[in-house]
Structure 1
Amino acid sequence: MFSTVLVANRGEIAVRVIRTLRELGIRSVAVFSDADADARHVREADTAVRIGPAAAAESYLSVERLLDAAKRTGAEAVHPGYGFLAENAAFAQACAEAGLAFIGPPASAISLMGDKIRAKETVKAAGVPVVPGSSGSGLTDAELVAAASEIGMPVLLKPSAGGGGKGMRLVRDEAVLAEEIAAARREARSSFGDDTLLVERWVDRPRHIEIQVLADAHGNVVHLGERECSLQRRHQKVIEEAPSVLLDEKTRAAMGAAAVDAARSCGYVGAGTVEFIVPGGDPSSYYFMEMNTRLQVEHPVTELITGLDLVELQLRVASGEALPVTQDDIRLTGHAIEARVCAEDPARGFLPSGGTVLALSEPSGGAVRTDSGLTAGVPVGSTYDPMLSKVIVHGPDRPAALRMLRAALADTVILGVQTNAGFLRRLLAHPDVVSGDLDTGLVERDLAGLLPEGVPPEVYAAAALLEAPLGRPHTPARPGGWVDPFDAANGWRLGGTPAWTVHHFRLPGQDPVEVRTRKVGAEQDILLDAVDSGAAPARARIVSRTPGALTLELDGVTHRFTHAASPEGVWLGRDADSWHVQTHDPVVANLSGAGRAGADTLAAPMPGTVTVVKVAVGDKVTAGQSLLVVEAMKMEHVISAPHAGTVTELDVSPGTTVAMDQVLAVVTADEEEGA
């Protein structure tokens, strides 16, 4: 076994790998960019090496700097995690040439399976069923269009290199195929340095099932069952579970055998995942999609139902050991589900968010596991992937695991950074998710119902009751100015749990709402119970408070209030028996930024880099026409014209780095005829 291993990654996966290294008594070496100098993985490693500035191309993607760090620290092996260079054949080969063990498959297997076109041809020859699609590599735009026409709409455009949903485009209308090909090429080139595309038949209402495989250098290959990864948004997984409710034992065994055949066909060694697309109405008709030649983000659910540490098995295989388990040893016990907590704002179209982690509370212990790279006080920016942590639970069955994960997400507090935790809880309570009737389009199809509808009365009540001085129930002063604590209507009582205090709360134009409150835990926490809502009491806590503003977190969602005379602010007041709210603006839901500084103005919806500018000053545009593309956290966001008009101002060019709400362009509306 190795004595020193360098972890060529960051964030939660680096922390997770370091944990197993520590358990095995192996010295860990972390690497970090300037943006991660105080990151958790740096703190937890035995030693750490700076490898460059924040830009990934000059740090985490620099083969030369990573190899230099390994040499300087005496590392014998490199664990690539996932993302960055984890599936880069040149990096694996460079490690081998430098005398380092690459904790992953050989470069030849990465190269073969990393090219989706060659991979399909290889596994097809091994008898594994594949999705109908284009053949050949390096197809031109015209050849892709021709292949799509032959296959028939709808089709899926996919980068030949890479994964994670980057650059994938579902196209249902042949008229926009050329534009979608151009966009897919840009994103693939940005994410993987390779814009080669293929096109495949799109299976409507498909399910995404993947099989975890393990192979050693002695010819042994096993599978560890399947993971259901059908809950996706923009081809990015958000919830994963194991096992899948779709498969029976016969289909599970057949898919497992096909995955083993796929691994053998490319000479695979290490941990890998074979991904299949499965028609929901016919699970026996499964098709190979691709093979991920690395550890997967969702590997913890497999670990929890098998009792195996996949990182430890990766290390043992890479050091030359044979697999310690056979196929007959594998047992699947219980049910595990994982949720990906990301720095993104569901109310603003899931735009990447950022900020400083002001306070952090993550559930762990017992049946709950959190893999996280977060610490309080650390800034979260837009330089890297938005995933912050993963919350995973293991229950005796699926219904129990769903309940446990919803509760664990409610106990996840990441204050100061907008996250998708509330969205994940609502998704886990969706009737089709609860019943197991899943498909990869469920989230997009029902997205409107998964976002909060307005602001619940409890939110206003929480702001009013937590904000000082308005939040303190009126306590009359006695003669001489002193206040008797027994006069306070706040539920306080001597030697016991605070009693519930009833408040009446009135929204403009609505009937009064009765809300009970009780102090719990920290000084700034209260428990809220909207009496007529039928919902369980919710815990509210203050994120930050200034003389003019209040930010609170309630049930996994962050809400912002300000005291101001402007229409955008909120004014909280109280008369003899009710609280009153004039306005409240928790989140400005405006994807293009139009209207924030005027109806004609287009502003950056998040910090990022302008990658495409399609217009010039003086150009006539139509309503909804795409004008610019801003990239943040490896995702493209199209900025469209708010109305028909003329581009009268353009303040950016390709490559410009922009801040949130920075003005990008101005489109002056056309005057109406006869006006």
Structure 2
Amino acid sequence: MFDTVLVANRGEIAVRVVRTLRSLGVRSVAVFSDADADARHVREADTAVRIGPPPAAESYLSVERLLEAAARSGAQAVHPGYGFLAENAGFARACADAGLVFIGPPADAIALMGDKIRAKETVRAAGVPVVPGSSGSGLSDAQLADSAREIGMPVLLKPSAGGGGKGMRLVRDAAALADEIAAARREARASFGDDTLLVERWVDRPRHIEIQVLADGHGNVVHLGERECSLQRRHQKIIEEAPSVLLDPGTRAAMGAAAVQAARSCGYSGAGTVEFIVPGGDPSSYYFMEMNTRLQVEHPVTELITGLDLVEWQLRVAAGERLAFGQDDITLTGHAVEARVCAEDPARGFLPSGGTVLRLREPRGEGVRTDSGLTEGTEVGSLYDPMLSKVVAYGPDRATALRRLRAALADTVTLGVPTNAGFLRRLLAHPAVVAGELDTGLVEREAAGLVPDGVPEEVYEAAAAVRLEGLAPSGGDGWTDPFSVPSGWRLGGEPAPVAFDLRVAGRDPVTRGARPGAEVSPNRVSVTVDGVRHTFHRAADWLGRDGDAWQVRDHDAVAASLTGAARSGADSLTAPMPGTVTVVKVAVGDEVDAGQSLLVVEAMKMEHVVSAPHAGTVTELDVTPGTTVAMDQVLAVVAPREEAQEEQA
């Protein structure tokens, strides 16, 4: 076993790898950009090395700086985690050239399976069924469009060089192919440095099932069962579980054997995942999609049902050990479900969010595991992936695991940064999810019903109670002037409510009076509304409950009107999320049509198109490509044309 391992990643996966290194008595080396100088993975590693400024291209994606860090720290091996350079064959080769062991598969296997076009051809030759699609690399836009029409709509555009849903586009209308191909290329280039695309037939209501494989360098390959990953939004997995309720023992064995064959076909070693698309109505008709040549985000559910530490076995295989078990030794016991907690705001269309973690509470307890990179004070920005943590629950059966995970998400508190924890909790209670009737489109179809329409009344009541508490005079000599207490007291009548003007972002302002009987402490506030007691976690102007959170600010209508009158309302285009402007398609003075794409803002590897609110003229443009913007920052102003103004009137 190695003495020292450098973890070439950040966030929860870096913390996760450090945990196993510590259990094995191996010294861990963290790396960090300036944005992560005080991050949790830096604190928990045995030592840490700075590798550059915040942009990933100058730090976590810099092969040269990572190798320098390994040399300075005396590391013998490098664990890449997932994301960043985990599936970069060039990085694996550079590690070998530097005398370092890359804790992952051989570089040739990464290169082969990282090219989805070559990967499909390779596994097809090995007898593994593949999804019908385009053939050949380096297709032009016109060739991609022709292939899509030949396959028949709908089709899925996919980057050849990467995974994780980045750059994937579902196209149902052939007329939209040109725009979608251009957007997919931009995202692929930004995420993987390669804009090569392929086209695949889209299977309606498919299930996404993947098989975990483990191989050593001595020719032994086993599979560790499957994971159901069908609950996705924008092609990104958000809930994963093991095993799948869809598969019977015969289909599980057949898919496992196909995954093992796919791994053998590329000379694989280490931990990897073979992903299949499965028609929900016919599980026996499964198709190979791709192979992820790394540890997967959802690996904990496999660990919980097999009792194996996959990171430990990655290390052992990389150190030259043989697998200590064969296929017949693998047993799947119980059920595990994982939820990905991400910095995104369901109330704002799931746009990426950011901020400072003001209060953190992560669930623990029987059958509950949390993998996290967070601490109180963590700054969540727009430079890196939005996933903050993973909450995982295990039980003897699926119903128990689901129940424990819902309770764990309700107990998750991340005040200061909007997350999807409450949304995930409601999703896990959806009848189709409870029944195991899943497909990759379920979340998109049901999302609107899983996002509350408004802000609960008790949230405003709690915020008013906090404001009232803040007005109470602090003691000094033991005597308080009763006229200085904002109690609403009045002569000859019931106390008058003390009113406060409040506002939640994206909602109209409200006025609420503080009710008697509220209990306020530095971390909690309780109020009674219509005879029901409601208790919230609190930090500054944030309130949280059952995984949901609200930032309730004071609202000054006069000040808002004075400062925002000139550049607000329907004419302004504002940043929907904190991020970077990547595309500007107009200039001041340009005439635009309603709905015309004007700018593109990117955050956390996600693009958002900002369109003209109405026909008119661009009168202001405050950004250029590369400009960093804050949420709700004004980007441009479009003055309506005369006819548009008449219609508005």
- Normalised TM-score (structure 2): 0.90
**Per-residue displacement from partner, 1:602-627 (whole Å, max 9, x unpaired)?**
12122221111122223222211111
Q: Please tell me whether the aligned partners of residues 465 and 471 of structure 1 are also in contact (alpha carbons under 8 angstroms).
A: no
Q: CA RMSD in A?
A: 2.9
* Deviates further, 411-420 or 214-223: 411-420
Once the two structures are superposed, residues 456-482 of structure 1 have per-residue CA deviations (whole angstroms, 9 ceiling, x without a partner) of: 23223322344423999xxxxxx9978
- Are 1:418 and 1:558, in contact at CA under 8 Å, matched by a contact in 2? yes
Do the aligned partners of 1:553 and 1:559 also contact (CA within 8 Å) in 2? yes
Please give the alpha-carbon distance, in whole angstroms, between the structure 2 residues aligned to 1:595 and 1:450.
36
Match of 1:562 in 2: 553
Q: For residue 259 of structure 2, what is the aligned residue in structure 1?
A: 259
Q: Percent identity?
A: 77
In structure 2, give the amino acid aligned to 1:281.
G
Aligned to 2:294: 294
Residue 538 of structure 2 aligns with an amino acid whose one-letter code is I
Partners in 1 of 2:79 and 2:587 — Cα distance?
47
Task: Answer yes or no: is the 8 Å Cα contact 1:644–1:669 preserved in 2.
Answer: yes
Write the mapping of 1:228-627 to structure 2, written as runs, cut at 5 A: 228-469=228-469, 524-527=523-526, 538-544=534-540, 550-566=541-557, 597-627=568-598
Deviations 1:545-575 (A, max 9, x none): xxxxx33222222223334441899xxxxxx
Q: Per-residue deviation at 1:147? A: 0.4
Instruction: Work out whether residues 213 and 259 of structure 2, in 8 Å CA contact, stay in contact via their aligned partners in 1.
Output: yes
Letter in 2 for 1:648: T
- C-alpha contact (below 8 Å) 2:581/2:626 kept by paired residues: yes
Distance 2:70 2:153 in 1: 49
Question: CA 1:209–1:608 in structure 2 vs 1: closer, same or farther (change >3 Å)?
Answer: same
Q: The residue matched to 2:557 in structure 1 has which SS?
A: coil
Q: Look up the match of 1:629.
A: 600
Residue 69 (structure 1) aligned with residue 69 (structure 2): yes
The residue that corresponds to 2:105 in the other structure is 105
Match of 1:640 among 595, 611, 625: 611
**CA positional deviation for 1:525:** 1.9
CA contact (8 A) 2:370 2:391 kept: yes
Note closer, same or farther for the CA distance 1:662–1:518 as it changes in structure 2 (3 Å cut). Answer: closer
Aligned 8 A contact 1:594 1:601 in 2: no
Q: Which amino acid counterpart does residue 577 of structure 2 have in structure 1? A: M
Hey, what does 2:48 align to over in structure 1? 48
- What is the count of residue pairs matched by the alignment? 619
Amino acid at match of 1:626: S
- 8 Å contact kept, 2:616–2:644: no
Distance 2:296 2:257 in 1: 20
Q: Deviations over 1:492-520 (max 9, x none)?
A: xxxxxxxxxxx9x9x99xxx99x998869
> Structure 2: how far apart are the matches of 1:567 and 1:434?
49
- For residue 599 of structure 1, report the CA deviation from its aligned partner: 1.6
Please tell me the residue identity of whatever aligns with 1:137. Answer: S
Cα deviation 1:305-324 (Å, max 9, x = unaligned): 11100000000000000011
Hey, what's the Cα distance between the residues in 1 that align with 2:528 and 2:339? Answer: 27
- The alpha-carbon deviation at position 352 of structure 1 amounts to 1.4
* Shift, 1:219, TM fit: 0.5
Give distance in 1, aligned partners of 2:15 and 2:469. Answer: 42
Provide the secondary structure at the position in 2 that maps to 1:469: helix
The one-letter code of the counterpart of 1:462 is A
Query: Cα distance 1:25–1:595, how it changes in 2: closer, same or farther (>3 A)?
Result: farther
TM-score, normalised relative to structure 1:
0.87
Instruction: Check conservation: 2:616, 2:638, Cα contact below 8 A.
Output: yes
Q: 1:466 to 1:241 in 2, by over 3 A?
A: same
Counterpart CA distance in 1 for 2:22 and 2:419 is 30
Structure 1 stretches of 4+ with a deviation exceeding 3 A read 464-467, 469-472, 479-483, 515-520, 526-533, 562-565, 593-596
The CA distance in 2 between the partners of 1:38 and 1:99, in whole Å, is: 30
- Seen in structure 2, the aligned counterparts of structure 1 residues 516 and 81 have a Cα distance that, compared at 3 Å, is farther
Q: Any idea what SS the aligned residue of 1:363 has?
A: coil
Residues 275 and 289, structure 1, Cα contact 8 Å, conserved in 2: yes
Structure 1 window deviating more from structure 2 (218-227 vs 463-472): it is 463-472
Q: For 2:411 and 2:245, how far apart are their aligned partners in 1?
A: 27
Q: Compute the displacement of 1:455 (Å).
A: 2.0
Cα 1:82–1:141 change in 2 (3 A) is same
Q: Report the secondary structure of 2:19's partner residue.
A: helix
Q: Secondary structure of 1:458's match?
A: helix
Would the aligned equivalents of 1:516 and 1:530 in 2 still touch at CA under 8 Å?
no
Does the C-alpha gap of structure 1 residues 101 and 447 become closer, same or farther in structure 2, counting only changes over 3 Å?
same
Q: Distance in 2 between matches of 1:182 and 1:278?
A: 28
SS of residue matched to 1:668: strand
List alignment gaps of at least 5 residues for structure 2. 473-478, 488-496, 503-507
Q: Give the corresponding residue for 2:475.
A: none
Contact 1:594–1:642 at 8 Å: present in 2 too? Answer: no
